[in-house]
Chains A and B, each alone.
Chain A
Amino acid sequence: MAEPLLRVEKLVRRFGGILATDNVSLDVASGELHAIIGPNGAGKTTLISQLTGHLEPHSGSVSLAGRDITYLPAYRRCALGLARSFQITSLLLDFTAADNVALAAQAHAGTSFRFFANARKERSLRDAAHAALDRVGLGHRADIVVNRLSHGERRELELAVALASKPKLLLLDEPMAGLGVTESQRMVKLLQELRKEVSIVLVEHDMPAVFALADRISVLVYGRVIASGDPAAIRANEDVKRAYLGDQHVVTHHG
């Protein structure tokens, strides 16, 4: 592996006396889907927040395509090709689905200090928005205000927004959270498609989904990576069984 797309080195973040991120190192190769799993409170969201720039680490470094981004603000990372979805959907609720996506496209298409021309009539932005919406199967809902979209549709919209910025790396924070069985299956199918185009870091609780999708899995427990490897290796790892999965059944059942 020459130059990993994302390299995290010895990342440390404390909250008071608690080590939420304890010397975490991991590499994500270009084209890889890297899943991060761990029980509740393992520090997954804390880790993601440091990757996206919403939280500063106390030490260690994060680099994207060889460039140190440890202390860059969120909007700069986004410009460098890092896009994220939120664990709890975070969208512009009073805007239409198309507006949400078009704004993401706009952020990457020249300056937004334009005061006079109607942005909703910019063909390139609208086309990009509709393409991204079609990609996640929301094309027919483009003109609906987000307030009126179902939870599942919002999760898909989160993905469309992230895609519209044409990222190199997609950070997905529990994209299946709160989805029903069929919705989850659709999401897995969608991610299977997307992974062909973009590298993905996936934080997820849904084990069947993780084992179906991931090239590599890192297991986070109490802020530390206790194992990292391909799904088969993780499934066989005794530490993982003991520390995290606990109930044998999850591991064997999806084996």
Chain B
Amino acid sequence: MKSLSVSKAVTALMLAGLVLLPLYSSLSGNIFILTLFTRIIILALAAASLNLIMGFGGMMSFGHAAYLGIGGYAVGMLAQEGVGSGFIQFPVALAASAIYALVIGALSLRTRGVYFIMITLAFAQMAYYVASGLARYGGDDGLTIYKRSDFSGLVDLSNRTQFYYLCLACLFGVIFLIWRIVNSRFGLVVQGLRSNEQRMQAIGFPAKRYQLVCFVISGTMCGLAGALLANNTDFVSPAVMYWTRSGDLMVMVILGGMGTLFGPVMGAVVFLLLEEFLSQITEYWALIMGPLLLLIVLFGRGGIMGMLGRAGRG
């Protein structure tokens, strides 16, 4: 029980910090930290969505950044064409991500293990090159978004604090949904398939159907992160879909703790803060970051959540 309370306490502390951050930012006048954490929260949302298929579903998707791009391009392209309403942009971003996930999932889930990793990676790289070829929408150089999604006064995305809380609300909403899903009938089936697919087939569950639906839910959630990210940077480019970004998301999930609710958030916070501060110290920050991550993955099984659990027990 004590082990639970340590990781719970740290999680609660982190969440309270995220909720109170704008207060600190306005009191101290540190605007930069608000911008930084907006980005962290959006990528935490993406990592949480990846965790649904990777941690709970056992599907190692190495192409999850594709949805960041699809969600982002949905917003950017519609804005370019004069459709500025968020009530159109966001549903389109989610729908486009869902459709992409459905097609990619239907094809990729015919394979297992390393092949699944490689094929999801290949599709994401295809998406990357398709986006690079969109001459009308900036091609390689990307697409500047001159006006953020307009929610007709409901919430103003150009207001830093409002945008921050919108992102945070989306993150909490998605985590709440994931929590409900993993404890539902559907979630138990998906986790059962991760544990032992043969057994699940033998007791009467068609594996692929459940995995595909899970894949689509996860992709749609990440599409939301993509739409938010484009608004955050006022810009979308093929680079958000590049495979290294998919790798970053995987690292966040593994770092925080696969198959835990708040692990991906923890992972995103630690990963991006490390990246931020190390890159201020030295240009060769990756030289420090790499070994550090290796150590955590090698010796801290179960990621940060796992280590907190053990610290509580020890």
Co-complex (A, B): yes
By a beta-carbon cutoff of 8 Å, the part of chain A in contact with chain B is: 52, 54, 73-75, 78-79, 83-84, 86, 90-95, 99, 103-104, 106-108, 111-120, 122, 161, 164-165
**Is B203 a contact partner of A104 (Cβ separation < 8 A)?**
yes
Contacts A112-B210, A117-B185 given; 11 further ones with Cβ under 8 A?
A54-B198, A74-B201, A75-B205, A75-B206, A86-B198, A86-B199, A90-B198, A91-B199, A103-B188, A104-B204, A112-B205
B83 on interface, CB distance cutoff 8 Å: no
* Residues of chain A within 8 A of B213, CB atoms compared: 113
- Of B4-12, B87-95, B189-197, B218-226, the one contacting chain A is B189-197
- Complex A-B: 23 CB contacts under 8 Å: A54-B198, A73-B201, A74-B202, A75-B202, A75-B204, A79-B204, A90-B198, A90-B199, A90-B202, A91-B196, A91-B199, A104-B203, A106-B188, A107-B203, A111-B185, A112-B210, A115-B185, A119-B188, A120-B183, A161-B199, A161-B203, A164-B203, A165-B203
A255 to B262, CA, bound (A): 63
Question: Chain B contacts of A91 at CB under 8 A?
Answer: 196, 199
B263 near A: Cβ within 8 Å? no
* Assembled-state Cα–Cα distance A179/B195 (Å): 24
Q: How far is the CA of A118 from the CA of B206 in the complex (A)?
A: 21
Asked if B22 CB lies within 8 Å of chain A CBs, one says no
Complex: chain B residue closest to A92, CB-CB: B195
A-chain residues with CB within 8 Å of residue B191 when the two chains form the complex:
95
Report whether B184 and A118 are in contact in the complex, using a CB–CB cutoff of 8 Å. yes
B303 at the interface (CB under 8 A from A): no
CB distance from A104 to the nearest CB of B (A): 4
Q: Are A99 and B188 in contact (CB under 8 A)?
A: yes
Complex contacts, B180 vs chain A, CB 8 Å: 115-116, 118
Q: How far is the CA of A96 from the CA of B181 in the complex (A)?
A: 19
**Which residue from chain B places its CB closest to the CB of A80 in the assembled complex?**
B204
Question: Within the assembled complex, what's the spacing in Å between the Cα atoms of A112 and B205?
Answer: 9
B204 contacts A165, CB within 8 Å? yes
Chain B residues lying within 8 Å of A92, measured Cβ to Cβ, are: 192, 195-196, 199-200
The residues of A that contact B264 with a CB separation of less than 8 Å are: none
Name B188's closest neighbour in chain A (CB-CB).
A119
How far apart are the CA atoms of A71 and B158 in the complex, in Å? 59
| A113 surroundings in chain B (CB, below 8 A) | 185-186, 213
Residue of A nearest to B196 (CB): A92
Q: Are B196 and A112 in contact (CB under 8 A)?
A: no
Interface residue SS majority, chain A: loop
Are B188 and A115 within 8 A (Cβ)? no
Which residues of B have CB within 8 Å of A107? 203-205
Instruction: Kindly state whether residue B302 has any CB partner on chain A within 8 Å.
Output: no
CB-CB nearest in chain B for A161: B203
Query: Within the complex, which residue of A78, A106, A116 is in contact with B202, where a contact is CB–CB below 8 Å?
Result: A78
Q: How many A-B residue pairs have CB under 8 A?
A: 94
Contact in complex: A119, B183 (CB < 8 Å): yes
Q: Which of B185, B195, B198 contacts A106 (CB 8 A)?
A: B185
The answer, among B183, B186, B201, for a CB contact under 8 Å with A112, is B186
Q: Which B residues are CB-close (under 8 A) to A104? A: 203-204
Answer yes or no: B187 CB below 8 A from chain A CBs.
yes
Contact partner of B185 (CB less than 8 A), chosen from A94, A95, A114, A164, is A114
A95 to chain B: which residues have CB within 8 Å?
A: 191-192, 195
In angstroms, Cα B192 to Cα A115, docked, is 15
Query: How many angstroms between the C-alpha atoms of A122 and B184 in the bound complex?
Result: 10
Contact present for B202 and A103 (CB under 8 Å): no
Tell me which of A54, A78, A84, A117 contacts B184 (CB under 8 A): A117
Q: Collect the chain A residues with CB atoms within 8 Å of residue B204's CB.
A: 75, 78-79, 104, 107-108, 165
Given A90-B196, A92-B196, A93-B195, also A103-B181 (CB < 8 A): no
Shortest beta-carbon distance, A159 to chain B, in Å? 13
Alpha-carbon gap, A119 to B214, bound state (A): 17
Closest to A84 in B: B202
Q: Is the CB of A118 within 8 A of B183?
A: yes
Are A103 and B184 neighbours in the complex by a CB distance under 8 Å? Answer: no
Shortest CB distance A211–B (Å): 28
B218 to chain A, nearest CB (A): 13
> How distant is A249 from chain B, measured CB to nearest CB, in Å?
37
- B195 near A94 with CB under 8 A, answer yes
Give the complex CA separation of A118 and B187 in angstroms: 9
Q: Give complex CA distance A128, B184 in Å.
A: 17
Q: How many Å lie between the Cα of A119 and that of B189 in the bound state?
A: 10
Nearest A residue to B201 by beta-carbon distance? A74
- The interface residues of chain A lying within 8 Å CB-to-CB of B187 are 115, 119
CB-CB nearest 8 A-B residue pairs: A78-B204, A107-B204, A92-B195, A104-B203, A119-B185, A114-B185, A112-B185, A74-B201
Which chain A positions have C-beta within 8 A of B202?
A: 52, 74-75, 78, 83-84, 86, 90
The smallest beta-carbon distance between A49 and chain B, in angstroms, is 11
Query: B17-48: contact bitstring with A at CB < 8 Å (1 yes, 0 no)?
Result: 00000000000000000000000000000000
The reply to whether B188 and A114 form a contact with Cβ atoms under 8 Å apart is no
Residues in chain B near residue A111, CB distance under 8 A: 185
